[in-house]
Structure 1
Amino acid sequence: MPHPQAQASSVEDLGDDEYLNDFVAGDSDTELVRADIEDSGDDDEEARVPPKATKRKADQLEANDDDDFTEDGGEAIAGAMKAKGTAASATTTSAGEPDATEKKKKKKKKVTKDYSINQSALLDAEGIPQRNCSDFAQKAGDETLVAFIRDYLFKNRSSKLFSAASPLAVGSPKAIIISGSAIRAAHLARLVRACGTCKVAKLFAKHFKIADQTRVLNTEVFPLAVGTAGRVLALLKNGALKVDELDFVIMDGTYRDEKQRTLFDVPENKPEVIALLKAVREASPTTEICIY
């Protein structure tokens, strides 16, 4: 059985607990037995117990009380202390600042920002006018690119221009699509074949030498062309690509790569794109720039 003083010390730390206060207050063995007898409702004759038996029953009651305290009371006390400690950890410091737990939670909040360049604003700042294509009813994307070119930009004349017997001059496309990479350009070239039966020029560096592209442009008719800004600009400068009959330069502006960058967001692309658009506008002022 624990020493009474040890019991008293632990209970004082706990604060108000009616059962433990009674236990520490020093109830005698006789009082414990009397209370037990009174609760049982036995008569006076049965209540007369020899002193030796009374002492033995008191010892048994105290042992039971100790067991109850260890098994039930200890768990309740531990739970109360744990709850008190948890509540204290959620409070703020005396200076009114959040504790370490609250600060840690605030650090976990992450705001994702979109650092994409405003393409229209960029071209406006460079003095490059754009065609307003807001009246195109369908959402921009690969699935609607053919409809955008064939049914919107070249409405009522696409069947003639994009046929195998197109009346255009060699090396003089009616529309050029500019993409951010050779892989993307190859994909777009496959898509725009659905515009008609005409040939589509592939004006990018992947697997194609500029000398070979120059030779083909000087001998073949390509109503549609797809390429990267750097290679298209090089072919424009060497005279193989002609823009006299060019109606539209279509910028592949809605596509994002694996890093969520558009054509204008890639640092190495931006100078070449701006240089190409300015060169086209200078050589053919009637050519319109579209961001799709």
Structure 2
Amino acid sequence: MGDDLGDEWWQQDDASESEKEDQEKQPTEKPNAKTKSERKRKAITERTVKTKKKKKSLQTECVVPKKKETEDEQSAKPKKRRKKKTITDVLATSEPKPGCPADLQNLITQYFSDKRSVIEQEELKLQDSCFLSSNDLTHSLSSYLKQVCPKWVKIHKQHTGKSSVVLLIVCSSALRAIELIKQLTTFKGEAKAVKLFAKHIKIEEQVKLLQKSITHIGVGTPGRISALIEKDGLSLQGLRYVVLDWNWRDKKLRRMVDIPEIKLDFMKLLESGILNGCKEDSVKIGLF
């Protein structure tokens, strides 16, 4: 019996010890609960980050197609070509300057640069003595001619040859030629002037007119004057002065030498004998 009591006592001790162990275990379970909450917060944070990344990627996907559409639209649109400046555009923004001998010499050099050898180009250079004084934009045609041809009365009276003229005035059009002839009134005196242009006048009629009577002044376009020289309708033998209507501009602000077809005829006219006359000192050129 004593042994039974002893066993009960030990059992009670074991029971109390086991209870103590359970009580000691309970506090150790609290950290596990804390770890679980931390994991939960971590999981929420990761989900938030993933959501933000997904949203950002969706925004990027939305932007890329929009950029592509813009590029397609731009490629579909025709590219604007830069408008080349015309002579009119350039001259409209610049003040008109009177022509000078150097302008004509530069034009001759440029035109023959690919048509003549270097030696031939040197021969085309005109001396200063070949030129009359140029118009400074203050003269009318009559006042200019009185200045450059002070002995006109004597010179035109000495001229007796037919099919030739003493003074040749070269301009860009028939209308301009008629206007210049009207401006000659106070200068020409008793001298006779003739129209040398193609508009409404057949070349055969002009040849007959030149052969029939003595004329002193010819006013016309380079194309018709060149044609008359080629057909022997106009001789340069009695020619003393060539006046170029250099400074006058049309409605598009172009000078005679700015219009390609007229420029070509003009250079042809110079080649027909005028340049040779200048080198021989029998012809003088003036820029009006």
TM-score, normalization by structure 2: 0.54
Deviations 1:132-163 (A, max 9, x none): 444x6x6336x5211222x22321x212344x
Q: Does residue 271 of the first structure (1) align with residue 264 of the second (2)?
A: yes
- 2:153 corresponds, among 148, 159, 176, to 159
Contact between 1:172 and 1:242, CA under 8 Å: does it hold in 2?
A: yes
Change (3 A) 1:140 1:280: farther
Q: Which runs of 5+ in 2 are unaligned?
A: 1-84, 113-123
Alignment of 1:187-266 (within 5 A): 187-195=179-187, 196-266=189-259
Q: Which runs of 5+ in 1 are unaligned?
A: 1-109
Distance 1:186 1:204 in 2: 10
Contact between 1:166 and 1:198, CA under 8 Å: does it hold in 2?
A: no
Distance 2:200 2:256 in 1: 21
Aligned to 1:95: none
Alignment of 1:276-287 (within 5 A): 276-281=269-274, 284=277, 285=280, 286-287=282-283
Paired amino acid for 1:199: K
Contact between 2:164 and 2:237, CA under 8 Å: does it hold in 1?
A: yes
Higher helix share: 2
Paired amino acid for 2:228: L
Deviations 1:218-238 (A, max 9, x none): 111111110000000011111
Aligned to 1:288: 284
Paired amino acid for 2:219: V
Contact between 1:128 and 1:277, CA under 8 Å: does it hold in 2?
A: no
Contact between 2:177 and 2:220, CA under 8 Å: does it hold in 1?
A: yes
Deviations 1:111-139 (A, max 9, x none): x63499954420344436374444x6x63
Q: Which has the higher contact order (CA 8 A, sep 6+)?
A: 2
SS at match of 2:260: coil
SS at match of 2:180: helix
Distance 2:194 2:276 in 1: 20
- 1:122 corresponds, among 100, 103, 107, to 107
Shift of residue 167 of structure 1? 3.7
Q: Cα RMSD between the aligned structures?
A: 2.7
Distance 1:287 1:122 in 2: 19
SS at match of 2:186: helix
Paired amino acid for 1:172: S
Distance 2:237 2:132 in 1: 23
Runs of 4+ off more than 6 Å: none
Distance 1:281 1:177 in 2: 13
| Greater C-alpha Rg | 2
Alignment of 1:89-168 (within 5 A): 113-114=90-91, 118-125=103-110, 126=112, 127=124, 129=126, 131-134=130-133, 139-140=136-137, 143-149=139-145, 151-155=146-150, 157-162=151-156, 167-168=159-160
Distance 2:239 2:269 in 1: 14
SS at match of 2:286: strand
Paired amino acid for 2:244: M
Contact between 1:168 and 1:223, CA under 8 Å: does it hold in 2?
A: no
Paired amino acid for 2:283: T
Distance 1:161 1:216 in 2: 22
SS at match of 2:256: coil
Shift of residue 198 of structure 1? 1.6
Distance 2:230 2:276 in 1: 11
TM-score, normalization by structure 1: 0.54
Aligned to 1:175: 167
